[in-house]
Structure 1
Amino acid sequence: MVIGSLQAEPDTSISGLVPSGGLTGANYANIDGSIDLWRTLLNSGVITGGAIVGTLVFGVLAGYALAVLHFRGRGTLFAMVLLVQVIPFQLLTIPLYVLTVRTYGLADSYLGMVLPFLVNTTAVFVFRQFFLQLPPDLFSAARIDGASELRVLWSVALPLVRPALLTVVLLTFIGPWNEFLWPFLVTKEASMQPLAVALANYTANVAATTSNPYGAVLAGSVVLAAPAVGLFLVFQRHFTATNLSAGVKG
């Protein structure tokens, strides 16, 4: 994909991996000349960052409650969380649109684009499973020392589930970053459109008129995929299991 995006002329053969005519950045220059690349990157960063923060906050709190706290209806509530995961987001698009745009009046706003991604049931499930692996004696010892539940969560539980935090950040990043349909529905303001929407419009309306449409499409794909790949490369060495029983005597 990277080589194809740098080709001056489209060549899908094996020999095209080493283009005879050399490599060029013209396809990327066409993208930058057709859309406000840095503005769309900023919009995507705001939307994705808001989704990540909301997912981490609500996911950690809900996952901790479902794994550690004991209350009536906990099993039923967790079953509902699992049920939500089998419902495709596309089925919820119209009800969410009516609720967000017409009821809350959040059209053409970052909050309206972030709102549906603030709570992620997959993140709740991941955090619950990690918290269940922690020895209950760790929580009991902290409570005996007078720690509140939030203190137990912050000082005892979270440091031991760092792989889960990084996994959720990566999984959450991919969804809003690549999301096209929802931001397209919520806002028609070009200055607020994220990168995925801008690249989709570029591919549909502009790429075909360039000297190398094939390379233009691949260049757009590289621009969209590069941040997710980079994030994974940065975090991959941290995706390791933690010795969760290290703090328990015996």
Structure 2
Amino acid sequence: MENSPALEKTSINVVQRKLGSTKKTRRYQTAVVYVILILFSLAFIIPFLWLVSGSLKSSSELFTNPGIPKVFHWQNYTQAFSEFPFFLYLKNTLFITSMNIIGSVISCTLIAYGFSRIEWKGRDAVFVLVLVTMLLPFQVTMIPLFMLFQKLGWIGTFLPLTVTPFFGNPFFIFLLRQFFISIPKELSEAAKLDGASEFRIYWNVILPLSKPVIMTVIIFAFLASWGDFIGPLVFLNDNSLYTLSLGIQQIMSVNDPRWPLLLAVGVSMTLPVLIIFFVLQKYFIQGIALSGIKE
């Protein structure tokens, strides 16, 4: 009994040493993970840094100096905006992108609600058919769509690029449906007992709880429309309706393109994507993580 205090102190010291060694091991593991992530991130950061660096160089220095510019040519940006119809193409791109986001959110949330919260005959079979359409690339449906829009008189207008999102996107429908399924059905049943209609349940119950996945859809729709090249190339034939991606390609097709100015426009196109992702990344991660937790 006299040695019990000494034994207690010894056991406490052993436990403390084990905890200390465990903390050190976790620190080492965390450090290794951060080092690996930093190395992988360099593969994505270096091209963007080269883009920014090239946009601040002269035409002669661009191909001779791969590093930091010796003299920063900030006038490349002012010349690019003055000599290149940047703001016209930016207005067109923003209009098409906004319509894509609005159309995707409205149509896909409604369709996903019908697939996830309403029971009807053949629902699962139709949903499988919707998923199958995800296997069809745009190049397969491009010619039939062109012929259809040509008969409607839509070629040379924004309509083929702004109306089609209101008919739904299979990937967005799948993403939203998986998230809606994870919302407890008891909430919908309680709302029905209070006399709420299906649309009111969709609008007042489901949508407010689905902000993360809706933000995810907004990000995906923005990225797909902002950098789209094939769609504007096929359906637009008027220079005043060109988007940024199509306008840049037209300038690159000339005999002697001014590369620093093109890189300056490229930086201007890339920055909004980075800003939107960093601002909404919390919702993006939540939307992706929670969309497949329940089947």
Identity between Structure 1 and Structure 2 (%): 30
Change (3 A) 1:51 1:5: same
Q: TM-score, normalised by structure 1?
A: 0.87
Matched, 1:155 2:201: no
128, 131, 155: which is aligned to 1:82? 131
Aligned to 2:156: 108
Query: 1:30-50: CA deviations, max 9, x gaps?
Result: 432332111111100111111
Runs of 5+ unmatched residues, structure 2? 1-50, 291-295
Give the CA deviation at 1:205.
1.8
Q: Equivalents in 2 of 1:222, 1:203: separation in Å? A: 16
Matching of residues 62-141 of structure 1 within 5 Å: 62-100=111-149, 102-118=150-166, 119-141=168-190
Q: Confirm or deny: 8 A CA contact 2:89 2:242 kept in the other structure.
A: yes
Q: Equivalents in 1 of 2:90, 2:257: separation in Å? A: 24
Greater RCO, 1 or 2 (C-alpha within 8 Å, sep 6+): 1
Aligned to 1:247: none
Q: TM-score, normalised by structure 2?
A: 0.74
Aligned to 1:7: 57
Give structure 1 regions of 4+ aligned residues with deviation exceeding 6 angstroms. Answer: none
Change (3 A) 1:104 1:162: same
156, 165, 174: which is aligned to 2:223? 174
If you compute each CA radius of gyration, which structure gives the higher value, 1 or 2?
Answer: 2
| RMSD between aligned residues | 2.0
Q: Equivalents in 1 of 2:76, 2:137: separation in Å? A: 35
Q: Confirm or deny: 8 A CA contact 1:6 1:23 kept in the other structure.
A: yes
Q: Equivalents in 2 of 1:83, 1:200: separation in Å? A: 33
Change (3 A) 1:27 1:205: farther
Give secondary structure in 2 for the equivalent of 1:205: coil
AA paired with 2:171? T
AA paired with 2:251? Y
Aligned to 2:265: 220
Q: Confirm or deny: 8 A CA contact 1:4 1:11 kept in the other structure.
A: no
As a proportion of its length, which structure holds more helix? 2
Q: Equivalents in 2 of 1:117, 1:150: separation in Å? A: 21
Q: Confirm or deny: 8 A CA contact 1:117 1:176 kept in the other structure.
A: no
Runs of 5+ unmatched residues, structure 1? 245-250
Aligned to 1:235: 280
Query: 1:18-39: CA deviations, max 9, x gaps?
Result: 32x2211243334323321111
Give the CA deviation at 1:149.
0.6
